[in-house]
Amino acid sequence: MGGPSITNLILNISLLSTCYATAVTHLHDGAAIEALAVLERRVVPDAPNGYAPAPVDCPSTRPRVRSARTLSSEETSWLEKRRNNTIQPLRDFLTRVNIPGFDAGAYIDANRNNASAIPNIGIACSGGGYRALMNGAGVLSAFDSRTNNSTNTGHIGGLLQSATYLAGLSGGGWLVGSLSLNNFTSVQDIVNSTPDQIGSLWQFQNSIFAGPKENAVQNISGGDYYSNLVATVNSKRDAGYNASLTDLWGRALSYQLINSPQGGPGITWTGLSDDPTFTAANAPMPILVADGRAPGEFIISLNTTVFEFNPWEMGSWDPTVYGFAPLRYVGSNFSQGVIPSNQQCVRGFDNAGFVMGTSSSLFNQFILNLDSIVSEIPKVFVSLVEGILQSFSGDENDIADWTPNPFFGWNNDSNPGAQSKRLTLVDGGEDLQNLPLQPLIQPEREVDVIFAVDSSADTLAPGANWPNGTALVATYARSLNAEMNNGTGFPAIPDQNTFVNLGLNTRPTFFGCDASNFTGAPPPLLVYIPNHPFIYNSNVSTFTFSYNISERNAIIENGYLVGTRGNSTLDEQWPQCVGCAIMSRTWSKSGATVPDVCNQCFERYCWNGTLASETPAQPYEPDSVFTELDLAKNGGTALAPSIFSLMLAFGTVAALAL
């Protein structure tokens, strides 16, 4: 067949121009004053004694651990509001993407009082340090209707406002936590803020090991920064609680992720449950994930107890623990699920930074190896850390210590930690399940579709630090273990070689499309969105701890293009396909006829079971979809390429776009 028509050529060059122009402007427009006002709002500190847990009078209904048979009463009540609040954003999104043969407005209007007929959306952001935070931020900004131009043709803004759950792990947990703890701010507002502005976040040019630049909010720097980290952690020890390297790590994270003096030592994770934005259900529910591991124990995805932290509780759906403790009162001496009548309650243990640090405790290892990166870290911190470490043994360096164990004496027959006063948790990706999917596949939450943003570093050089599906492979393997899956289903997932050989790690792929191919209720449809180079090589090392503002923004912009498929340049029907994925389970449950365009989308994006398990012929090394940004050449700013560059790029794009 002949090449594309002149009209199509002009159209696609225009699309490419729009792709570049919006990619480099939608996150850089002005509105700094408005961004400042938004960023100044945050969760109110509610711990009784700053970072140190402290005894308080118990409420009239004494806190207790509950079974995981159902959702908590708090989540159930919140869902009534949130599901209702997602209806209009979802209607707006579906009518805007305009699926031929489906009157989205009429459908939503007819089912406003029937939540089971309205798709329930979850979003999962993988671990991977700052790479995961920035790439995930780019994709979330593409999902966010507050991002400039995100509701234009070819974009998918509004998906975030339509979501019920937002789960994060390790670096993805930093993203979820930072947005949620700062009044569910937008990535747009964070990028719009300037480094010296009150309320600016994500100032990664100031390494977490060097401390923040002194300004009106963070009135501390240099040696005082390190002294403050240790002083706050020592206050916890002085109150009679164990401290670990995760306490130091979480406190340091807070300076970069929470807009509050000294990173908000009195801000707790359960403070989210009192935040007006969250209580009004105007934002998705944030959930972070960590793994259970006793010191010295080796864990794999088949035997790991996966813990979640939501705004009310911590606990696990797994049959090992199968219970949830009221997070606000963790730190109290629970026994067999209750606090003895002669014991006071304790509050303040669930410091927000400590929760984010628990989900990312892998990074504790860098505190241990400070001497190898002395160029970034003042000597004073080395000696301070050594003093803290005197009470630790060598096999406890990567744990977060949640002693006293809230699950002591709970589920004695199945809970391996039921007889231990200590509960030690580690980075949620240590079991290779680097996507936080476990909370979202629980049948009790009735999620219909999960958008899984994978920023994992699975591949090796020369194309290192790109995902290859390992996180999905691990969760699928775990789902086949009847002793751990607790009745949760999961779509079939191919091996990593198949991901690479078939290019499933270079573009979005849907898993579990055929709802009839499951025994019992089908699991959520999984929309896998892997990190990939569009205008920037965003495969930065998990262990790079400083980025200038230009590189930060370039990675975020690249993530926007990952989420939008180059603003639909690679597939003009991508927004419609996203809408089809959202509606898929709902249509299946009702027996509705699937529109033709959706069948075409599923043909393109659904994994059809084909395997290509042979070792790839060439090492994985993806090429950039568009002309790569040269930050040095452009003076450190993200600039749109010339039309000539667009013409050169067109040859690569045309075959996919037409």
What are the residue ranges spanned by the domains of the chain? 6-86+120-193+216-570+607-657
Res 25 pLDDT > 50:
no
Lowest mean pLDDT across 38-52, 407-421, 581-595: 38-52
CA–chain centroid gap for 468, Å, is: 18
- Which residues is 314 bridged to in the sheet? 309, 325
Which residues lie below 8 Å from residue 632, measured CB to CB, with a gap of 6+?
none
- Distance separating alpha carbons of residues 541 and 507, to the nearest angstrom: 21
Most confident by average pLDDT, 27-31, 479-483, 642-646: 479-483
> For residue 295, is the peptide bond before it cis, meaning its omega torsion is within 30 degrees of 0?
no
Token output for 468: 């290859």
pLDDT band at 640 (very low <50, low <70, confident <90, very high): very low
Residue 368: Cβ within 10 Å count: 15
Mean of pLDDT values over 345-350? 98
pTM confidence score: 0.90
Mean pLDDT of the chain: 86
Mean of pLDDT values over 212-216? 69
The CA distances from residue 75 to 282, 287, 495, in Å, are: 14, 12, 36
Mean of pLDDT values over 118-123? 98
CA–chain centroid gap for 300, Å, is: 21
Please tell me whether residue 509 adopts helix, strand or coil conformation.
strand
- Distance separating alpha carbons of residues 265 and 254, to the nearest angstrom: 8
- Distance separating alpha carbons of residues 58 and 636, to the nearest angstrom: 55
Mean of pLDDT values over 245-268? 93
- Distance separating alpha carbons of residues 92 and 88, to the nearest angstrom: 6
The dotted CATH code for 6-86+120-193+216-570+607-657 is 3.40.1090.10
* DSSP-derived secondary structure letter, 121: E
pLDDT for position 505: 98
Token output for 350: 């669930």
- Which residues is 289 bridged to in the sheet? 308
Residue 560: Cβ within 10 Å count: 32
Which residues lie below 8 Å from residue 331, measured CB to CB, with a gap of 6+?
53, 241, 346, 347, 348, 349, 350, 404
Contact 353, 98 (CB under 8 A): no
Please tell me whether residue 7 adopts helix, strand or coil conformation.
helix
Residue 83: Cβ within 10 Å count: 16
Res 33 pLDDT > 50:
no
Mean of pLDDT values over 116-139? 97
Which residues lie below 8 Å from residue 538, measured CB to CB, with a gap of 6+?
131, 134, 135, 531, 554, 555, 558, 559
